[in-house]
Amino acid sequence: MTVVPAIASTSGPVLVIGAGLLGASIGLGLQHLGVRVYVRDASPTTEAVAQDIGAGQSVRAVHEAGQRLSDPALVVVAAPPDVVSELVVEALLDFPNAVVIDIASVKSLILDDVAAAGADLSRYVGTHPMAGREKSGPVAARGELFTSMPWVICPTETTSARAITTAKNLAVDLGATVTVMDAAEHDETVALISHLPQVMSSLLASRLQDTPLHHLSLAGQGLRDTTRIAGSDPSLWVQILSANARPIVESLHEVRTDLDRLISTLENPMAGGARLDIAQLMAEGNSGQARIPGKHGGAPKAFATLTVAVDDTPGTIARLLTEIGEDGINLEDMRLEHSPGQPVGLVVVSVDPNRREELVNALNERNWKVVQ
Residue 148 CB contacts under 8 Å (≥ 6 apart), including other chains: 175, 176, 177
Look at residue 343 in the predicted model and tell me its pLDDT: 64
User: Measured between alpha carbons, how far is 155 from 182 in angstroms, rounded to an integer?
Assistant: 6
Q: Which of 322, 327, 320, 319 is nearest to 359 (CA)?
A: 327
User: Measured between alpha carbons, how far is 155 from 73 in angstroms, rounded to an integer?
Assistant: 18
Look at residue 3 in the predicted model and tell me its pLDDT: 42
Least-confidence region, from 43-57, 245-259, 326-340? 326-340
Specify burial of residue 90 (Cβ count, 10 A radius: 0-12, 13-18, 19+).
middle
3-state secondary structure labels for all residues of 233-268:
CHHHHHHHHHHCHHHHHHHHHHHHHHHHHHHHHHCC
More confident residue, 203 or 1: 203
Specify burial of residue 141 (Cβ count, 10 A radius: 0-12, 13-18, 19+).
buried
Kindly indicate the confidence band of residue 315, based on its pLDDT and cuts at 50, 70 and 90.
confident
Look at residue 300 in the predicted model and tell me its pLDDT: 55
For residue 281, give the H/E element and its range.
Answer: helix 274-290
Is 53 in contact with 169 (CB distance < 8 Å)? no
As a whole number, the mean pLDDT across the chain is 90
Q: Which domains does the chain have, with CATH numbers?
A: 14-181 (3.40.50.720), 188-213+221-290 (1.10.3660.10), 304-370 (3.30.70.260)
| CB contact burial 317-346 (16+ within 10 A = b; e otherwise) | beebeeebeeeebeebeeeeeeeeeeeebb
- Read off the pLDDT of residues 249-307 as tens digits, 9 standing for 90 and up: 999 999 999 999 999 999 999 999 999 999 999 999 999 988 887 655 555 567 888 88
315: left (phi over 0), alpha (psi -120 to 50) or beta: left
Q: What is the crossing angle of helices 274-290 and 245-266, to 10°? A: 150
Look at residue 297 in the predicted model and tell me its pLDDT: 55
Is 202 in contact with 226 (CB distance < 8 Å)? no
Is 49 in contact with 65 (CB distance < 8 Å)? no
Q: How much is the pTM? A: 0.80
Which one-letter amino acid corresponds to residue 143?
A: G
328: left (phi over 0), alpha (psi -120 to 50) or beta: left
